[in-house]
Every structure is written in structure tokens, then in C-alpha cells.
Structure 1
Amino acid sequence: MKLDILVFGAHPDDAELGAGATIAKEVANGKKVGIVDLTRGELGTRGSAEIRDREAVASAKILGVSVRENLGFADGFFVNDKEHQLKVVEMIRKYRPDTVLCNAIEDRHIDHAKGSKLVSDACFLSGLMKIETKLEGEGQDAWRPKVVYHYIQWKDLKPDFIVDVSNFMEVKTRAIMAYSSQFYDAKSKEPETPISSKNFTDSVLYRAQDLGRLVGVEYGEGFTTERYIAVKDLGSLI
């Protein structure tokens, strides 16, 4: 299956928090979108890897993505080395996306920046013909995505561009709340975490509102890029 967009996240729920509304919008526009989680989030204070597996499946259905996979890297301890890069290359060559979205380049959680650099490096390596990979015993052709964009997570990074997601925040919110073990629940007896408070879930909405305000729309999601963005003409801007 060739995908238009492949979204990577260090943990289940990263993709939803950083780019959930953009994913939903692209799916609604007829694009084929997939998600690859690098880890199962097994070190998370709340829930378990098994619970998060189920939540990720439920969230993927809400977003309408074509596929979701988990590479099973060690939460908190994966590194950007050859072994991990080749596993990511296999996914890129398997799905041949034109666009890759991945973690924030800088963030509170150490896995986010690590995951960001790992995926970015793998996107480059995936285009090198002399790097050989196999999937299910079959050799894979080289493939390099046209663009790599990084969504924004905990830290309030300055975006290079903002996507108008005004009609898709409701879908994003439902996809996030599919992770009921992780986010605000007044009845939960689990320990508090930085993302389990009502303030955090509220912040997802007001960040989108603020980014939307900056570009004259109701809601927005911000992204950073490693290279210049080109437009066909001035009319291409909104």
C-alpha cells in the first residue's frame, strides 16, 4: 500500500496530540494516511502497554487512517543508531509516503527529540540505493519522502507554517480521549502526570485557537521544517 502521508510518533498518542486534526483533514481530503508508533509507551506512569495498544487502535479508527503499526522500540531507551534507523527505513520503503510527519525537534520528553532525529535521518537513508533492506523476505526499493515536517508538542515552539484545521478539532479531541488511561478523568485513581490534568487537555484546544488566531482562522496546528518551503505563487498562501 502506498501512502500519501506517514506519521511517526515516539509513543502512542504523540501523533494525535501533535497532528491529529491535520491527519483527520487529510483523510477527509482523500489522502491515504498511516501512523507508525516507535514504542508502546510502556514506561508511562498510567495504564500499560496492552491498554495503550487497544487505545491506539480505537484512536486510529476515529481518525480514519489506513494503517497503524508499532515498531516496539524500548520506551525511553531507544537510540538513533543503525539498527533503529533500518527498522524505520523499512517502514518508509514499505509505504512510500510523499510526506512524513514526526515528533517535535525539541521537547520535554527525551524520546520526542530522539524520535524526531531518528525518523528524519531514516528518511534520508531510505533514499540511498546501496542500503539494502528486506520486508517479509522481499528486497525493498529505495524511497525518499519529498518532505519531512515536525509537529509541535509540549514546548511552545515557533511554527514555520500553520495548517487550518478549523473543522477537525472535534475529531482530534475524540482521538485523543480514546487514550482514556492517559488523559483527564475525574474518577481515575491513577497517579497524576503532566498530561493527565484538565489544564493539559484544555491547553490542546486553546493552543489550536491561538495558532488559528495568528493566521486568521478558528483553529490551527503548527509544524516546523528542516528546509525552505516553496510556493508556486503568492496566491498559494492563505
Structure 2
Amino acid sequence: MKLDVLVFAAHPDDAELNIGGTICALIKQNLKVGVIDLTKGEMGTRGTVETRKKEAHNASVALGLHYRKNLDLGDSKLDNTRANQLKIITEVRNSQPDVCITGAPHDRHPDHGKATQLVLDSLFYSGLQKIDSGGQQPWRPEHILHYMQDRPFEPDFVFDISETWEQKKKSLLAFETQFNVSEAGEEPETYISTPSYFKQLESRARYFGHLAGFEFGEPLKYHNGPAPLSSFDEFFSNKANS
């Protein structure tokens, strides 16, 4: 399936958590968006592979995704090997996205930075003619963006998610074992499972939205910037619509 935007996530829920509002907004703009989860999150403290698979499906429905696939590369074992690169290359060449969005280069969770480097290397190699992935044509996205994860960075863009914040929340709450758990039950409480963490997410979205003049926003960094610009049309879009 040809996609306009392909999002990569180390674990199921990373896409919803960090770029879910943007995904919803892009889909509302009639763009085709897909998500590739690199692992099943099997090392997570809460939930099982089976429950997280079901939660990811429900979250995909909430987001309105056109495509989602889990490559099962091994939670906490994300090695930057040619075998793993080829699995990503196959997905990129199949979907031929114009824009790819991946995680932060460095973050609190080691898997996040490792996943990002694996994706970046794969995106580059995907454009090389002599790397064979079963007869597919080479493809490299025109633009690569990074979404912010636990550790903040100075963003190049803030995407307006004011109209999709509630939809993002719905996709996150689909991960019932992971977020906004009022009673931990038999499983241990984690850094992200408490209601207070969910409040922090809203505070961050409000903060970055405020910086850009929105109610809610998601910060993004352009890979190997500066970002290309050939028109000021976007700068005047609000004026034209007023």
C-alpha cells in the first residue's frame, strides 16, 4: 500500500504517546498514514504480548490508521543488523512514504535511541539500488522527522493537535494496561501507568502548543536540518482563511 507518511515506533504505544495527535490530524487531511512497531513490547512490566496486541489494534482503530505492522525484532534486543534493516527496508519500499517519522536520537529508554538509529540506517540503505529486498525498487523518503519522547529537545516544528487531542487520548486509553491505571491490581505500578503521568502528557502538549500559539501541540525535529523551504504559503494560511 502506498502511504504518504510512515511512523516508526520501538514499542506498541510509542506512536500514540508521542505523535498520535499529529497522526490523527494528517489522516483528517486525507493523507494515508501507517505505523511500524519494531517490537511487541514483551519486556514491559505490565501486560502481555497478547493484551498489547489487542490494545494496539484498538488504538489503531482510534487513530484511523491505514496500515500497521509489528516486525517483532525483540524488545530490549534491537540490534542494528542487516537482517533487521532488510525487514524495515521491505516495509519502506512497499509503502513508498514521502515522509517518515521516527523517535528521538537519544532518550531515557535505551530501545528508543537504538530503534531510531536502526531506522535511520535502514532508510538510507533503502535508497540503494544494489541492496536486494526481493526485487523491490529502491526508495528513500523525501523528509525524515523525529518525534520527542521522554527527554525534551529543541524542536524545529510544533504540530497543532488542538482538534485531535481528544482522539489522541482515546488511542492512548486503548492501552488499558499501560496508561492512566487508577488501580494497579496484581501487576506493579510503573513510571507511565499512573494517572499523574497522564497529566504530565497533557501539560507537555499544552506547553508546546502554547509556544506555537495552539492549545495543544506535538514537537518535532527535522532530521539533518535545516528544513527545506520554498514558499511562505504556510505562514499566511491563517490570514487567508480569516
- Residue number in structure 2 paired with 1:88: 88
Q: 2:152 matched to 1:156?
A: yes
Q: Distance in 2 between matches of 1:174 and 1:104?
A: 23
Q: Which residue of 2 aligns with 1:169?
A: 165
Find the counterpart in structure 2 of residue 15 from structure 1. Answer: 15
Q: Which residue of 2 aligns with 1:48?
A: 48
Structure 1 counterpart of 2:39, which letter? Answer: T
Deviations 1:135-155 (A, max 9, x none): xxxx21111111111100111
1:117 equivalent to 2:117? Answer: yes
SS in 2 for 1:230: coil
Q: CA deviation at 1:100?
A: 0.5
* TM-score (ref. length: structure 1): 0.95
Matches of 1:191 and 1:93, distance apart in 2: 41
Matches of 2:40 and 2:7, distance apart in 1? 15
* Aligned partner letter, 2:137: D
Distance in structure 1 (CA, Å) of the matches to 2:140 and 2:123: 6
Letter in 1 for 2:47: G
Shift of 1:185: 1.6
Cα separation, 2, equivalents of 1:121 and 1:95: 17
The residue that corresponds to 2:194 in the other structure is 197
**CA offset at residue 78 of structure 1?**
1.6
Deviation at 1:188, TM superposition (A): 2.8
- Return the alpha-carbon distance in structure 1 between the equivalents of residues 107 and 30 of structure 2: 31
Number of aligned residue pairs: give it: 234
Output the CA distance in 1 between the equivalents of 2:112 and 2:19: 14
Q: Which runs of 5+ in 2 are unaligned?
A: 237-242
1:73 is paired with a residue whose SS is coil
- The CA RMSD measured in Å over matched residues stands at 1.1
The percentage of counterpart residues that share the same residue type is 41
| Uncovered stretches (5+) of structure 1, i.e. residues with no partner | none
Q: Is the contact made by 2:182 and 2:194 (CA closer than 8 Å) also made in structure 1?
A: no
Q: Is 2:214 the partner of 1:217? A: yes
Q: What amino acid sits opposite 1:17 in the alignment?
A: L
| Match status 1:145 vs 2:141 | yes
Offset at residue 235 of structure 1 (A): 4.2
User: Helix, strand or coil: the match of 1:72?
Assistant: coil
For residues 107 and 237 of structure 1, the distance between their equivalents in structure 2, rounded to whole angstroms, comes to 32
Match of 2:68 in 1: 68
* Residue 7 of structure 1, CA deviation: 0.6
The alpha carbon displacement at 1:59 in A equals 0.2
Secondary structure at the aligned position of 1:213 is classed as helix
Could you report, residue by residue, the CA deviation over 1:172-226 in whole angstroms, capped at 9, with x for unpaired residues?
A: 0000110001112213312011101112111111101000110111111001122
**Alpha-carbon distance in 2 for matches of 1:52, 1:237:** 41
The structure richer in strand per residue is 1
Q: Is 2:158–2:220's contact at 8 Å kept on the other side of the alignment?
A: yes
